[in-house]
Structure 1
Amino acid sequence: MQTILGANGIIGRELSKALQPYASVIRQVSRNPKKVNDTDQVLAADLTDYQQTVKAVEGSAITYLTAGLPYNHKVWQKQWPLIVQNTINACKIAGSKLVFFDNVYMYGHVKGWMTEDTPYRPSSKKGKVRTMIAQMLHDEMHRGALPVLIARSADFYGPGADNSVPNILVLNNLVKGGKPQWMGKSTVPHSFTYTPDAGRATALLGNTPSAYNQVWHLPTDKNALTGKEFIRIACELYGKQDAKFSIIPDWMLRVGGIFKKELAELIEMNYQYEYDYLFDSSKFEKAFHLKPTPYRTGLQETINALKKK
């Protein structure tokens, strides 16, 4: 059996579909778990509770931590270290391997391509939290008592990725008949990982014994698009001749943040849309001889899925 902790999100769902060839039973764990596959088990658990986490991981050969938390740095500071430590301990008790799905916040502002060897230099409060929990996992790798790997993704987009920036600002607006929007500078390239690629690659890594005790960047098209190019291709694929869009100014986030905390939390991450954001997945592509989905293909599949809603 293989277990997904934090199974309700888009990555958990894509991972669930991708794990079918590897596991006859997949356990879905979250506060309100739902089946993705007919043979799934479901178990409700609060991962900040040690005993509930131990029960959730019990009997698992491989455990995937794909949980998401409210986009609030204070919540992250309090809960992320606790959740990761609970999961580490639970995996050791169960004799389970651990796969952690991660982002790139710990790198901070990087000049050039982000690789698995990029040093951790966080430039945000949330980045400092991600650095802390990544270091906890690196420490376990060095101790050698727990097989663990980090599967790291860039910002993502794809069918069902309702909380992702490109889905919210570009694709959802198009489908609703509105004008696409962007954050920061629309003329700088920004890598995005396609969510089905992320799910398939994470499942493959988890079921490859030699992949453990390493960091892996998940497959991401290296032909990074600028915001303007992303919007132009999305409009073209949607059949919209006019590719005009608007930029959300910083002041709007700051003013909006007075009323909605999630907007205020975006401000410290603005550097990701002001400068080149380039994510290199060459290590994975060479090791597994797999290529990421091109942006045009991924956008078309995402638009097709949105039209069916």
Structure 2
Amino acid sequence: MHTILGANGTIARELGRYLPPLTAEPLRLVSRQPQQLNPTDELVVADLTDPAQTARAVAGSSVVYLVAGLPYQVATWQRDWPRIMTNVLNACEQHGAKLVFFDNVYMYGLVEGPMTEATPFNPISKKGEVRARIAHQLLEAMQAGRVEALIARAADFYGPAIANAVPNQLIFDNLKKGSAAQWPGNPDLLHSLTFTPDAGRATALLATTPAAFGQTWHLPTAAPALTARQVAQQAAAAYGTRARISGLPKWLMRAVGLFVEPVRESVEMFYQYDHPYVFDSSKFERQFFAPTPYAEGIRQAAV
């Protein structure tokens, strides 16, 4: 059994698409309100902050995927992420399951140059501190031999049918309506974006490659990185509309954040948008497959 913890998100959906051709084992989808992706999927309702429910959800699994998302709130992350990681590690150790953790880049902090698997953790945000803490939990468990695991790490997302990714919300959705695209900070800085179908396919491939375990992998992300303005230009061409984009300054986001919580919660991550954000996935590409070029990814995302 391959078990997906946090089964209603974008990456879970892509895993549900790419895993069946790679493994004969069925899928178990776990969340508070799981929904079937394939006719044979098993659905399990569980709260991952509860140790007993997590252990029951993992029982019988050969591979577990931790792809859960939490509300974008510092307090929630600080309270729940360490609990979830502890519960999942204990459950995988108890039941002898391998663990695949889908991670982001917040723990790296502000990086000069490309981010690689060797980039040290240096978080400069509260959310980054949380991500560093749970990544260290997992790495320590791996080193101690408690679990066999791998970390699959992605840059910011873009892709088809995504509701909450910044490029989709501020560039694609606005251009589709005929409005000007928007971008936090400077739209003329390089900003790597991971195409979600590539992320799902790559994670499924890593999980079914025994030699991939015990390592951190940057998931395939096209290079060279584009600027937000370049993304907007390509998306506008796909929609047949004008390529207009404006940057959202930090002071404006702070002002809006006084009244809109998601904006307020995103201000501490502004450093990702007023400096170049370049993600290197060459390790994965050398051993598996090349990422979808931006031109094709943007064409598919511009729906």
| Shorter-chain TM-score tier | over 0.9
Q: Does 1:280 align with 2:280?
A: yes
**Is the Cα contact below 8 Å between 2:66 and 2:99 reproduced in 1?**
yes
Read off the aligned partner of 2:301 and give its amino acid letter: T
Task: Report the count of equivalent residues.
Answer: 302
Q: Which residue of 1 aligns with 2:202?
A: 201
Distance in 2 separating the partners of 1:232 and 1:38:
40
**Is the Cα contact below 8 Å between 1:13 and 1:36 reproduced in 2?**
yes
CA RMSD of aligned residues (A): 0.9
Q: Which residue of 1 aligns with 2:290?
A: 291
Q: Which residue of 2 aligns with 1:15?
A: 15
Summarize deviations over 1:255-296 as a string: whole Å, max 9, x none: 2211222111111100101011000001101122x1000011
The structural deviation recorded for 1:43 is 0.8
Distance in 2 separating the partners of 1:195 and 1:120:
24
Q: Secondary structure at the match of 1:274?
A: coil
The structural deviation recorded for 1:176 is 2.3
Q: Secondary structure at the match of 1:269?
A: helix
**Is the Cα contact below 8 Å between 1:156 and 1:193 reproduced in 2?**
yes
Distance in 2 separating the partners of 1:174 and 1:259:
25
Summarize deviations over 1:2-27 as a string: whole Å, max 9, x none: 00000101011111111112144101
Q: Secondary structure at the match of 2:15?
A: helix
Q: Which residue of 2 aligns with 1:159?
A: 160
**Is the Cα contact below 8 Å between 2:110 and 2:123 reproduced in 1?**
yes
The structural deviation recorded for 1:79 is 0.3
Distance in 2 separating the partners of 1:81 and 1:69:
12
Q: Which residue of 1 aligns with 2:5?
A: 5
Q: Does 1:264 align with 2:251?
A: no
Q: Which residue of 1 aligns with 2:37?
A: 36
Distance in 2 separating the partners of 1:25 and 1:179:
45
Q: Secondary structure at the match of 1:177?
A: coil
- Equivalent residues in 2 for 1:199-238, closer than 5 Å: 199-238=200-239
Summarize deviations over 1:19-65 as a string: whole Å, max 9, x none: 11214410111111001111111111100000000011111100000
The structural deviation recorded for 1:243 is 1.0
**Is the Cα contact below 8 Å between 1:221 and 1:294 reproduced in 2?**
yes
Normalised by the size of structure 2, how large is the TM-score?
Answer: 0.98
Q: Which residue of 2 aligns with 1:184?
A: 185
Read off the aligned partner of 1:226 and give its amino acid letter: T
Gaps of 5+ in 1: none
Distance in 2 separating the partners of 1:300 and 1:206:
28
Q: Which residue of 1 aligns with 2:174?
A: 173
Distance in 1 separating the partners of 2:153 and 2:244:
33
Alpha carbons of 1:176 and 1:23: their partners in 2 closer, same or farther (altered >3 Å)?
farther
Distance in 1 separating the partners of 2:71 and 2:201:
25
**Is the Cα contact below 8 Å between 2:187 and 2:245 reproduced in 1?**
no
Summarize deviations over 1:94-143 as a string: whole Å, max 9, x none: 11000000000000000000000000000100000000000001101211
229-238 vs 243-252, greater mean Cα deviation: 243-252
The structural deviation recorded for 1:192 is 0.3
The structural deviation recorded for 1:183 is 1.1
Q: Secondary structure at the match of 1:99?
A: strand
* Percent of residue pairs bearing the same amino acid type: 53
The structural deviation recorded for 1:298 is 0.5
Q: Secondary structure at the match of 1:259?
A: coil
Summarize deviations over 1:238-268 as a string: whole Å, max 9, x none: 212x212222222221122112221111111
- Equivalent residues in 2 for 1:22-61, closer than 5 Å: 22-61=23-62
**Is the Cα contact below 8 Å between 1:24 and 1:39 reproduced in 2?**
no
250-259 vs 162-171, greater mean Cα deviation: 250-259
Read off the aligned partner of 1:298 and give its amino acid letter: G
